[in-house]
Every structure is written in C-alpha cells, then in structure tokens.
Amino acid sequence: MAELWFGALALMLAGFVVFGGADLGVGALSLFMAKTDGERRAAIAAIGPFWHGDEVWLIASGGVLFFAFPSLLATAFPAFYLAFFLVLWCLVLRGVSLEVRSHTDDPLWRAFWDVVFGLSSALLALLFGVALGNVVRGVPIRLDRHFTLALFTNFSPTGEVGLLDYYTVSVGAFALVALFAHGAAYLAYRCDGSLRERARRTERRLWFVAAVLFVVVSIETALLRPELFAALATRPLAWLGTLVAITGVGVGARAYRREHDGWVFIGSAAVLAGLLAATAVALYPILLRSTLTPAASLTAPGTLSSPYGLSVAVVWWPIALLLALGYFVFVFRSNTGKISSDS
C-alpha cells in the first residue's frame, strides 16, 4: 500500500510539473519574449484555458499527502512554513495579475500586472526546484521527529542545513531553466508568427543551458548522496524513467529540426516526467531524509495512514483522477488551433 500511494504522489507532482510547469515557463518568459501588448495577450491566451486546471495537480498532491502520509505533512509543515507561504503568495499574485491585467485599459497598470505575473511565475519555478533539492538532500530531522529549517545556515548541504545551500540553489536553477525551456516549447506549439519564431530560438538555447546545469546537479548529487545512483542501477522502474527522459530528448531534437512543435512539447514533457520518475524511484522508501541521523528519516511505510482511510481513498481517488484526466482531454481537444501573435 505504501508503494501505491508513493507512486500516486509522484504521479500528481509529475502532472503539475509537466502541465503547470509550462504555465510557469510561459508566465516568466512573457516578460522578455513578448515585445508588444498583442504578443503578451497571445502568451496569456495560450495558457488561459488551462492554468486553473493545471493547479489541480498541485492541490491533488497536497491531498495525497494529507490522507496517505499525514504524519509527514504534520512534521514538515511547521519547518517549511516560510517556503509554503512564499508559494502561497506567488500563487495568489499570479492568479490576481493574470485576471486583473485584462480588466484595465491603463498601459501603466497593465505593465505593472505583467511584471507581477512574470516575477511570481519565475519565483514559483525556482521555489519548486529548491523544494526538490531539499527532498533529495534531506533536512535536519531529529529522533523526536521535530526540526526547524532556517532560510540558510552556512550554505553547506550537510548537518544543520537551511532551506538554501549550494546544492538546493543548483537544483532550483536547473528547475528554473528547464521550466523556462518547457514554457518556450509550449509557446512555440500554441502560438504563431513572430512569437513562435522567438520561442523556438529561446527554447534551443535554454535546453543547452539546462543540460549543463543537469550535469552539475548530477555531479553534486553523486557526491552528496551516492546511494541514489546505486538505487538507479538496481531498480527497473528507474531504468524506465531514464529511458523516457532519453527518448524525450531524441524525440524533441528530431521534431525541432522538422519544426513539429507539438512533438517538441511532448518530448520536453517526457524529459521532465522521466527525470522526476527516476528520482522518485531512487528515493523510495524515504520521503524526507535526515541530514543528522539516518534513523530519523521519514519513510513511506513509517508515515502511512490508517488502513481504513486508505481503503476508502482507493475507491474515490481513481474516480477523481479519471475526472481530472477527462477534463484535460476535453480542454486540449477544444484548444488545438494556433494563436496569432501578430494581429
């Protein structure tokens, strides 16, 4: 049962990164790539029908944590208080700016809300990357399962760590650039005209930068947690995730040369989903590692909820998942045309 709900949590998070990550990338890139108000409106129109639904994956992740691993949520929430509120404020500002900028005709206010939308999107991408870095690196959990997490301590990834150190900042930078590239691929897929051409050029450059950062993060991870690479070598599901990521690189590169924008976006999504899947498989069964005492680490079997609650969730969760998937299929099929950025 622990493996099932760990997989469900990983699936929800991967769904948010693939779909919500495209929204975040488009929002941040709209500050730099959109040169006119028409292009900014085209970028917003590209994500307009989807962004409400994309955040469902994030809410569903919190729901899985709440009913499947409640003790993990109870232990981690107080320590990550600052990070959670930063995420909350960015989500609020992002939603407000996206709605309000279309209800004002004043160019100054529109520019203000465009900046708020872009900066909040970029900060969210960075925060989610830093959060992943904290999960992989670990946090200073003691044997009594209580810990505090400062914003930063001495920037070392061992011992009494903070939210930020050189490792988590590296993972955050990689996530930021990768989601920027993913957003550029989505813009090229959904938009036409000059914005599409600019998105294609930007996407290629960003993926080169992301590749360099991925190598840096991989070396840091090998030095910090070598057991994760040992787990990758012995777990077939990790091989599958790695294969999906490598296939995504090949599909995306081939489609880019042939200017098949839809397949470029699919390849980009496969890269992100494959990397997350391989990471999740390598981490299992540890949900939150202790940098102080390995015995204090929080595991999926050790934080699992009561059997009765999980038996009820097994019935209702697949129904909710099918409804969410049905909604996404309907919305994507209803919005398949290109959006002109020149008119």
| Between 341 and 226, the higher pLDDT residue | 226
Query: What is the rounded average pLDDT of the residues 110-129?
Result: 94
In this prediction, residue 343 carries a pLDDT of: 58
pLDDT per residue over 61-106, tens digit each? 988 998 899 888 888 888 888 888 999 999 999 989 988 888 888 8
Of 178, 340, 196, the closest CA to residue 262 belongs to 196
The encoded tokens of residue 340 equal 């002109």
Report d(CA 60, CA 66) in Å as an integer.
10
In this prediction, residue 203 carries a pLDDT of: 94
CA angle 123, 28, 321 (to 5 degrees): 80
Query: What is the rounded average pLDDT of the residues 133-158?
Result: 88
DSSP 8-state assignment for residue 192: E
Query: What is the rounded average pLDDT of the residues 35-64?
Result: 86
Q: Which residues pair with 139 in a beta bridge?
A: 290
Average pLDDT, the chain: 91
In this prediction, residue 50 carries a pLDDT of: 83
Report the range of poorest mean pLDDT among 40-44, 236-240, 254-258: 40-44
Query: What is the rounded average pLDDT of the residues 200-219?
Result: 96
Backbone angles phi, psi at 146, to 5 degrees: -115, 140
Statement: residue 254 has pLDDT above 80: yes
| C-alpha separations of 73 from 78, 132, 134, 287, 288 in Å | 9, 15, 15, 11, 11
Coil, strand or helix at 286: strand
Q: Could you tell me the pTM of the whole model?
A: 0.94
The encoded tokens of residue 61 equal 């992740």
Query: What is the rounded average pLDDT of the residues 138-152?
Result: 85
In this prediction, residue 235 carries a pLDDT of: 94
The amino acid sitting at 211 is A
Report d(CA 30, CA 199) in Å as an integer.
10
Statement: residue 342 has pLDDT above 70: no
Report d(CA 125, CA 178) in Å as an integer.
9
Statement: residue 147 has pLDDT above 90: no
234 backbone φψ class: left, alpha, beta (φ>0; ψ -120 to 50): alpha
In this prediction, residue 208 carries a pLDDT of: 96
pLDDT per residue over 263-311, tens digit each? 999 999 999 999 999 999 999 999 999 998 888 899 999 999 888 888 8
Q: 253: pLDDT confidence band, cut at 50, 70 and 90?
A: very high
